[in-house]
Structure 1
Amino acid sequence: MTSVERLSPPLFDGDLVFGGPALEAAADDFGHLVRREPLAVVRPRTAADVVRATRWAAERGWKIAPRGEGHSLYGRAQVDGGIVVDMSGLNGVHDLGEDQVAVDAGATWRSVLAGTLPRGLTPPVLTNFLDLSVGGTLSVGGLGGTTHRYGLQTDQVLELEVVTGDGRLLTCSAHERTDLFDAVRAGLGQFGTITRARLALMPAPERVRRYTLAYPDLAGLVRDQRLVVEDGRAEHLQGAILAGGAGRQYQLEMVVFARDGELPPDAEVLAGLTDDRAGGRVEEQSYWEYALSFDALESALRSTGQWSNPHPWLLTVLPGSTAERIAGDILGTLTADDLGEYGRVTFYPIPTGRITTPFLRLPAEETVFPFNLVRFPVDDDPAQAERMVTQNRVLYDRVRAAGGVLYPVSGFPFTPDDWRDHFGERWPAFRSAKERFDPGRVLTPGQGVFAAAPSP
């Protein structure tokens, strides 16, 4: 009897792979900081394949982890000696209606938009980088430039199809199995594997105008960001601090959409702002060009080889009342080498009233600020990457002590005690949902929520 036969795998509609490039890919991720080698990779063709893989793993005491496009930063979608379910082939866009669409979890946001935009429709919130899977971002929340208006991507989900940790294929929504619906959205893959999502859509403009405004300091940037959010003049708002060759640069990025086919005049959009007008730029784009704006940075990084280097990013959320002070203090400790030539710190306000996803943790204030170190090291030196991972822990501890929280996509290890602290008063509900939907604790061990993840 062969070793494969001894494992007694079920018959899949898709593929079951025990070696070669598929396992090599599944042992790594976009962060390139952690390596964990699975026993096998399942490439499902149907949701029933995900059910079969989950039951197979549970019956044999293995762990199982869904993987979309592999853009995790610290082994969150990896598993030692278990099963990785490669969802990238389960990527259809279905049932496009006037205000909603059903998509498979392995579809990227790029493919979703490519399917909806010809009908003049778009998801209300898009991630900056569109080559992330729908299932992946819905498992953590999904932030974008329009979050200040519409909340998270998880707040725009109408219905989910989910395979729970005990191998049940269930449909859930705000009106059906609401406990599962509320658990899975931003649930870190702990309660079920999303196989399909029904998403809300809204009309997409044909044209937009993008404003990239320059500021001499953080205070000016924050003042104008708050003003733009308060008066609602822009549909898209973000901000960044860059450590370039010319010194630290502070940028406000806002985008206005055409209304009734017309873009508002610049004087109206820029009224009352205190930016260095000569240092900014304004460009008109199609909505498709706007959505794909991150592609230029990706192309630049690929051309230098830096896209393939480690990505020890740190993503956090600061309370609005102290965000400027905390960010300023941390920025004072960073050097250009801490970010890399193309690196940046993203920083911008979001009203929390737009965010209703239960397990997404935020500071308890009306406004919060994502504060993210988006690092692109110039080489793949392991010592440099490890230094940044260690620095991430130190900086996170400072953020947490100041009332901030982790946005759960970051390049450093998080322990079960860290997660209990992270969820705070929501921890008993999180633990109860785990017992209800994944009693065998099969799912997504790389998060390290209920047991410490293996060492990298």
Structure 2
Amino acid sequence: MGQNTSRRSVFVQATVKLIPATTNARVFQLYYDDLATFTNDQCEIINDERFNYVEGQLVSNNAGGWRYLLEAASFYSPPSIPNNDLLLADLNYTRGTEQIEDKTKFDFLNRLAPTVAFLKSIGVWSNPHPWLNLFVPGSAVNSFVGEVAATLTLADTGLGPILLYPVKTKRFGLPNFRVPNEKVVFLFAILRTAVPPDDSVITKMLNDNRRLFEQNRDLGGYKYSVDAIPFSKKDWQQHFHPVWRNLVSAKRRYDPDNLLTPSQGIFANC
């Protein structure tokens, strides 16, 4: 029998650089009535990095339609405390709607636990979740999201949250990770829950995901692959172009038995 000359690496030790941990978080919830103003402020605060955490959401407006929520946090340890005036300077949120709260760092990081417990208590946590996750070019975010929001209803989401926040593409260091070719892109996510969990509801949500994916793709956007968007091998080839051949070569070399993510069908028949 021939000698097996393949080599495998096993990590037995790693060194992790530690940084001082803060104990508290000052959380700001700022509401907007205009999408362009909202995204402009989001871009400003990630560019000057005045906050440690930035996220955004579309939230239901009692008068109908949607409002926009900017959630940001500044981490600190007493006796040092954040300066609210500096953090909120030049932001154009709707005055009088802001909510500011101090929490422990743990309570901030664990803030979704009560929501999860509530969803479990009403029996929808185990329902299918046909999520949509897209990276939208920053240059197209207002027109794209504005068009989606014009017809989107709470029933379309199954009362799931809708996320919208910017990220700097220079933060992504992996060479094959696909995002629009712009300095700032937006993650747009409709975290749907099928209510009721009927096949017809799931099919409609999946079809809506596919339609919105194609619209964003044609604008130069990509999907963030923690979602439920029907994808074919041709879609994957388009998604990973121009690194597709390198990716297939690496797959054949390092995962010849197709043990990693076989269910997504990325490398079917390669």
TM-score (norm 2): 0.90
- Give a deviation string over 1:39-97, Cα, whole Å, max 9, x none: xxxxxxxxxxxxxxxxxxxxxxxxxxxxxxxxxxxxxxxxxxxxxxxxxxxxxxxxxxx
User: How far apart, CA to CA, are the structure 1 residues paired with 2:116 and 2:102?
Assistant: 21
Residue 101 (structure 2) pairs with residue 279 (structure 1)? no
Change (3 A) 1:227 1:308: same
Q: What amino acid is aligned across from residue 215 of structure 2 in structure 1?
A: R
Counterpart of 2:121 in structure 1 is 303
> Equivalent residue for 2:80?
262
* Kept after mapping to 2: 8 A contact 1:244/1:336: no
Tell me the residue number matched to 2:180.
Answer: 363
Q: 2:36 matched to which residue of 1?
A: 219
CA RMSD of aligned residues (A): 2.2
Could you tell me which residue of structure 2 aligns to residue 433 of structure 1?
A: 250
Contact 2:236 2:266 (C-alpha < 8 Å) held by counterparts:
yes
Match of 1:170 among 9, 17, 22: 9
Structure 2 matches for 1:9-408, cutoff 5 A?
Answer: 169-171=8-10, 201-243=18-60, 245-247=62-64, 248-258=66-76, 261-341=79-159, 343-408=160-225
CA 413–214 in structure 1, closer or farther in 2 if over 3 Å, else same: same
Relative to structure 1, the CA distance from residue 426 to residue 290 in structure 2 (aligned partners, 3 Å threshold; closer, same or farther) is same
Q: 1:435 to 1:290 in 2, by over 3 A?
A: same
Task: Tell me by how many angstroms 1:367 deviates.
Answer: 0.6
CA distance in 1, matches of 2:84, 2:124: 36
Distance 1:201 1:381, change over 3 A: farther
Match of 1:414 among 224, 231, 238: 231
Q: 5+ residue gaps in structure 1?
A: 1-166, 173-194
Q: Equivalents in 2 of 1:171, 1:246: separation in Å?
A: 58
Letter aligned with residue 255 of structure 2? D
Unaligned runs of 5+ in 2: 1-5
TM-score normalised by the chain length of structure 1: 0.54
Q: Is the 8 A contact 1:256 1:263 kept in 2?
A: no
Offset of residue 260 of structure 1 = 7.3
| Matched residues, number | 263
Take 1:307 and 1:370, find their aligned partners in 2: how far apart are those partners? 23
* Preserved contact between residue 137 and residue 186 of structure 2 (Cα < 8 Å): yes
Give the distance between the partners of 2:143 and 2:258, measured in 1 at CA: 41
CA distance in 1, matches of 2:61, 2:124: 16
Q: List per-residue Cα deviations over 1:244-264 (Å, max 9, x = no partner).
A: 655322100000011675122
1:187 corresponds in structure 2 to none
The verdict on how the C-alpha distance between 1:418 and 1:261 changes in structure 2, with shifts beyond 3 A counting, is: farther
Q: Which amino acid aligns with 2:128?
A: P
Spell out structure 1 runs of 4+ moving beyond 4 A: 195-201
Alignment identity in percent?
35
Q: 1:336, 1:407 → 2: CA distance?
A: 22
